[in-house]
Amino acid sequence: MTVVIGFEGSANKIGIGIIRDGEVLSNPRRTYITPPGQGFLPSDTARHHRAFILTVLKEALEQAGLKPADIDCVAYTKGPGMGAPLVTVALVARTVAQLWGKPLLGVNHCIGHIEMGRLITKANNPTVLYVSGGNTQVIAYSERRYRIFGETIDIAVGNCLDRFARVIKISNDPSPGYNIEQMAKKGSQYVELPYTVKGMDVSFSGILSYIEETLFSMLVEITERAMAHCGSQEVLIVGGVGCNLRLQEMMGVMCKERGAKLFATDERFCIDNGAMIAQAGWEMFRSGQVTELEDSWITQRYRTDEVEVTWRD
Amino acid sequence: MAAAGEANGGTGKLEFSLDVPFPSSRDATIALRSLSPDKEPRKGGISKLITVSGSTLSVRWSADESRILRVSVSSFLDHLSLVMETMEMFGPPVAV
């Protein structure tokens, strides 16, 4: 039996989750929500996380009904993400790891999303579309690496949607993307916009302020291209933008045409959360990885393919 | 906490030192190992050295400009207070 606690705070969510052998025992989370028209800045976000992190940690333990002695490993987000919030979270993770005498594990945030998606959906070896405010990548596993087949060459699709929401002053509660989706459901006019796919990659900065159809079509195209390249029959969507039902619907149509299966998780797990870091940490820990304190520095840049995936064949 | 700032006439660099007493050497070391891994966000113009002696955590800064020094010290104090709060809430450390 292996119990891992995971700390996540690379963007505006602070989440701490506990996993025991594939079971999510607790996964509390707080979101820093800014007024309409404003995005979240690193120092304010770090201040928010600082204010809540110890409370959320207590909640995670209480809701799981566990004591620190029951934990086997402390996992935290090493990167990528915003510097100041990452540091705030890493400080607490390092401190409790030492207080409790437990090994530490620095986890790649993107891999956290992937491993949580695999756990929840039980997809076998899917092509992964990872879409969030900070990241847009098409990923496939091959020989001990999560290979990046395609990605945004400028901004993440979620960033594009968030900025659009800011321009038209949509509420950021619960998230700008959610509110765009609700408004889009009532829309009936399709406006043709620049569609920018370059081979395996996409570009969003040229079409900032736009409607979902075009953005999501671009993502479906590059996902399909990666699937064709890998001969894959499964698609897994992870990341906050993955909550979007229209994206899932459009991806579903493409999958049906190819006879492939589509997997996605609900908002508990596609939005940043602590348990996903715990899950990736669980996999890494069980395959013998540990992070020494001196190497536990956080990093704003951390590519998904930099990590050796020792837990898969 | 004892602190002193001075301009070093020789190098022209600004220096700041901070000494933080902890209840035990173990506590000071835990704080040290939590606070030292992350690099300064700014690439140049500032450096700091964190050490432990007995049960005291010592930090020594050297910076080119006072503004950069202030930001780094202020940041460090925020981080230090978070580590101390965590130790208070979830300590004492387990027996080794």
Ranges assigned E (strand) in A227-270: 234-238, 261-264
Preceding omega of A68 cis (within 30 degrees of 0): no
Please write the tens of the pLDDT for every residue from A202-256: 877 655 445 677 889 999 999 999 999 999 999 999 999 998 898 999 999 999 9
What is chain A's mean pLDDT, rounded?
93
Model confidence at A3, in pLDDT bands (50, 70, 90)? very high
Residue B50 and residue B17: Cα distance in Å, rounded? Answer: 10
Higher pLDDT, residue B5 or A217: A217
Distance from CA of A63 to the nearest CA of B (A): 17
Q: What is the mean pLDDT of residues A44-63?
A: 98
Report which of A237, A227, A232, A234 is spatially closest to residue A264, judged by C-alpha positions. Answer: A237
First to last CA, chain B: 28
Distance CA A95, CA B71 (A): 23
**Dihedral of alpha carbons A63, A268, A302, A85, sign:** negative
Question: Which whole number is the average pLDDT over A171-192?
Answer: 84
Tell if the CB–CB gap between A87 and B92 is shorter than 8 Å.
no
Predicted local confidence at residue B4, as pLDDT? 47
Average pLDDT over residues B3-22: 75
Contacts of B33 in chain A (CB under 8 A): 94, 98, 293-294
Position with higher pLDDT, A138 vs A200: A138
- For B51-66, what is each residue's pLDDT tens digit? 999 999 999 999 998 9
Specify the pairing of strand A127-131 against strand A136-142: antiparallel
With beta carbons less than 8 A apart as the criterion, state whether A177 and A244 touch.
yes
Both tokens of A209, joined, read 């302020």
Q: Are A74 and A100 in contact (CB under 8 A)?
A: yes
pLDDT at B2 over 60: no
What percentage of chain A carries pLDDT values higher than 90? Answer: 78
Question: Is residue A266 predicted with pLDDT exceeding 90?
Answer: no
What chain B holds in terms of domains, given with CATH numbers, is 2-90 (3.30.310.50)
Query: Nearest by CB to B93, which of A91, A92, A98?
Result: A98
**Is it the case that residue A312 has pLDDT exceeding 70?**
yes
Q: Which domains does chain A have, with CATH numbers?
A: 1-110+270-293 (3.30.420.40), 124-267 (3.30.420.40)
pLDDT at A193: 74
Q: Give the span between the Cα atoms of A4 and A280, in whole angstroms.
A: 9
A194 or A161: which leads in pLDDT: A161
Interface test with B, best of A41, A49, A91, A104 (most B CBs within 10 A): A91
**B96 contact A CB<8A:** yes
Q: Could you tell me how far CA A151 lies from the centroid of its own chain?
A: 15
- Determine the pLDDT at residue B62: 94
- Under 8 Å CB-to-CB from A39, ≥6 apart: which residues? A162, A163, A166
Residue A13 has pLDDT above 50, yes or no: yes
- Return d(Cα A33, Cα A243) in angstroms, integer: 18
Q: Average the pLDDT over each of A25-34, A120-129, A199-208, B26-35 and give the range with the smallest value.
A: A199-208
Give the model confidence (pLDDT) of A127-178 as tens digits: 999 999 999 999 999 999 999 999 999 889 888 888 888 877 889 999 998 9
Q: Give the Cβ contact number of residue A120 at 10 Å.
A: 22
CA distance A266 to A271: 8
For residue B71, give the chain A residue with the closest CA.
A43
Task: Give the rounded percent of residues in chain A with a pLDDT score beyond 70.
Answer: 98
Residue A271 forms contact with B (CB below 8 Å): no
What is the predicted pLDDT for the residue at A207?
Answer: 59
- Segment A47-54 long-range contacts (CB within 8 Å, at least 24 positions apart): A48/A12, A48/A14, A49/A9, A49/A14, A49/A85, A49/A88, A49/A89, A50/A88, A50/B78, A50/B82, A52/A14, A53/A7, A53/A9, A53/A14, A53/A16, A53/A88, A53/A89, A53/A92, A53/B82, A54/A92, A54/B85, A54/B86, A54/B89
Residue B37 has pLDDT above 90, yes or no: yes
pLDDT of residue B45: 86
pTM to 2 decimals? 0.86
Listed by number, the residues of chain A in 42-61 with a beta carbon closer than 8 Å to a beta carbon of chain B are 50, 53-54, 57-58
